[in-house]
Amino acid sequence: MMDAQHISQDDLALYALQALSSEEGAAVRAHLSGCDVCKAEVASLQADLAMVALSVDQHPLPSGARERFVQRIGRDVRQGADGTRRAEPISIERAPRSRSAAWIGWVAAAAALIVAAWLGFEVNSLRSRLQASDDRIASLETSESQAKQVAELLTAPSAQKVVLTAPKTPPAPSGRVVYLASRGGLILQASNLAPIPAGKTYELWVIPADGSAPIPAGLFQPDTAGNGSVVLPQIPQGVKAKAFGVTLEDAAGSKTPTAPILLAGAATQSGE
């Protein structure tokens, strides 16, 4: 394990890895207490191991891993200086080994750490895939629940079903006339009339069947609901009507209709 002055490089590596037995470790510690060269070498090895350990996730060693690692190092066969091959078990007193062989323990430990890092990466990758699968399943379950609620709503017997349409346009103005020519009697009932400006009024007209000039038959103003009426205006008797009309005139009325005619209707054959 030791030559005349220093501990071999591979034993220092095993010491840094805490892979020596308690007796071997005690012998190394005793040597390090008085050898600055070996102490510096151990410090360098421990620093390297710390850097590698920080780069991977920490996992506990499997049961028996240390014993198997020590036995494997003990079975390692190397080429001696005299050309013969011999086994070099770990012991306090054994021949020095070449510098390249001294790093075999360190390389094996580094390889183990690399494998541990790869396994950690694979575990994290698997966890990510499992989380993505869980999220997808949750999304599908939410969609399925929503679809079920929609189906239940559409098929529920007590659900109210309402058809929506655009609001109807305001009803058009209209009027209804009752006329008895022989008596000169006339009644107009109009509805849905538009409001009129101040100083204006609606005026009813009788259009004679003989082609003579239209006869004014009364002025009227609509109420707030658009309703208006003319009841028994003072008009000549015995005038047969061809049609009736309503125009918008000045408040005092007019002797002739002012275009346009807002309401118009042809008279029936009766009305004598």
Please count the residues of the chain.
Answer: 272
Strand ranges (E), the chain = 77-79, 85-87, 174-180, 185-191, 200-208, 215-220, 228-231, 241-250, 263-266
Q: Where are the domains of the chain?
A: 1-164, 174-266
**The pLDDT of residue 10:** 77
Q: Order the strands of the 200-208 sheet from edge to edge.
A: 215-220, 200-208, 241-250, 263-266
Residue 87 confidence (pLDDT) above 50: no
Query: How far, in Å, CA of 31 to CA of 6, rounded?
Result: 8
Q: Dump pLDDT digits (tens) for 220-262.
A: 999 999 999 999 999 999 999 999 999 999 999 999 999 999 9
Q: Which CATH fold topology does 174-266 show? A: Immunoglobulin-like (2.60.40)
Q: Report how far apart, in Å, the C-alpha atoms of 190 and of each of 75, 196, 243, 252 are.
A: 121, 14, 16, 20
Rounded Cα distance, 16 and 129, in Å = 38
CA distance 245 to 20: 124
- The pLDDT of residue 141 is above 70: yes
